[in-house]
Amino acid sequence: MAMKNRVLGRTGVSVSPLCLGAMMFGPWGNKDEADSIRIIHRALDAGINFVDTADVYSGGESERIVGKALAGRRDDVVLATKFFMPMDGGDPNQRGASRRWIIREVENSLRRLDTDYIDLYQVHRPSQDTDVEEILGALTDLVRQGKVRYIGSSSYAASQIVEAQWAARDRLLERFVTEQPPYSILVRGVEADVLPTARRHGMGILSYSPLGGGWLSGRWRKDAASAPTSAARPSARFDMASPANQRKLDIVEELAQLADESGLTLIELAIAFVINHPAVTAAIIGPRTMEQLESQLPAAEVTLTADILDRIDQLVPPGVTINPDDNSYGEAELTPEALRRAM
């Protein structure tokens, strides 16, 4: 399969419209290392040249598996990873976005990935207790040292994107060239502000969860025994008693019918919807098995017609997230002060 690559923001770097997300490689997902490596190789052979992982995925095992899989092919891949999440639950300094942690953790990621450089180094979440200039300053040093090529953000609100861009401009620091938000047919909140803001600043968008955390994979259907329950997934995102989640199941049924009428699978429709957005550079797919990867690859070649997009808009209006609990960006702004609560 030949994929028509796209330019990542204004970097000049060419990447595939599908980015292989590596969260499921390791104990969190596929515990078979050899099988995980085969999946990575199949993705590369299919034309994917963009791989995204994070230090926290399976406690570093995902990075190690990716590094092993890329042996001999490293220079052919745009390799992205992230930092911020806790790496040691008992040590508050082995997490976050302080200069101290960034400088230390990049060395850990380089070692696990078995590489001399990271193409795209991203802060995994916004930090409410670290000055953005400290973050950008540390990352700028890594770029100048040649350990990192570009830097990016993930799950930033529009105001945080702007603040970081202005800080980089005013202090002559490296700027975030990408943003990684959640985006799917069921989670369209970023269309209202995050996507246009990032686009105005020339940022590339690599969006995660194009299948809505599994809701658009066909895995969970209305009245199906396999539907998630609040007991199995103790989160408001998967509480089937929630009217919002019941509405999601209704929408999935209608989307499945639309996909069938269009000669597509639900998975192809969902991923194509994301990469058809003009602000999106690549959709991050996160297969756990070879079968899942094979079901997702064809979406790279799908172009949705205006009629199909109009039907989707009727089911989920632009800018709307059906269940607000699915929005996972701008988390740092939901502080007690922002909610007018006394400390």
Residue 203: which CATH number? 3.20.20.100
199 belongs to a structural domain: yes
Token representation of residue 310: 């109009």
338 belongs to a structural domain: no
Residue pair 195/279 in contact (Cβ under 8 Å)? The answer is: yes
Predicted local confidence at residue 229, as pLDDT: 47
- As a whole number of angstroms, the distance between CA 17 and CA 274 comes to 10
Q: What's the mean per-residue pLDDT of the chain? A: 92
Predicted local confidence at residue 222, as pLDDT: 66
339 belongs to a structural domain: no
Predicted local confidence at residue 327, as pLDDT: 83
The pLDDT-based confidence of 172 (bands split at 50, 70, 90) is: very high
- Checking if the pLDDT of 24 tops 70, the result is yes
129-151 confidence digits (pLDDT tens): 999 999 999 999 999 999 999 99
341 belongs to a structural domain: no
1 belongs to a structural domain: no
Catalytic residue among 57, 156, 183, 329, which? 57
- Checking if the pLDDT of 254 tops 80, the result is yes
Residue 217 phi, psi (nearest 5): -90, -10
pTM given for the model: 0.92
The pLDDT-based confidence of 32 (bands split at 50, 70, 90) is: very high
Predicted local confidence at residue 220, as pLDDT: 66
- Checking if the pLDDT of 237 tops 90, the result is no
Closest CA to 126 of 67, 88, 179, 78: 179
267-295 confidence digits (pLDDT tens): 999 999 999 999 999 999 999 999 999 99
Is 121 one of the catalytic residues?
no
Predicted local confidence at residue 337, as pLDDT: 60
Closest CA to 270 of 196, 313, 216: 216
Pairing of the two strands 50-52 and 148-154: unpaired
| Of the candidate ranges 24-38, 59-73, 221-235, the one whose mean pLDDT is the lowest | 221-235
Residue 253 phi, psi (nearest 5): -60, -45
Rounded mean pLDDT, 40-44: 98
> How many domains does the chain contain in total?
1
300 belongs to a structural domain: yes
The pLDDT-based confidence of 332 (bands split at 50, 70, 90) is: very low
Q: Find where tokens 């957005």 sit.
A: 277
**Segments forming the whole domain that contains residue 25:** 6-333
Predicted local confidence at residue 321, as pLDDT: 94
246 belongs to a structural domain: yes
Q: Find where tokens 């105005």 sit.
A: 200
20 secondary structure, DSSP code: E
Residue pair 78/46 in contact (Cβ under 8 Å)? The answer is: no
343 belongs to a structural domain: no
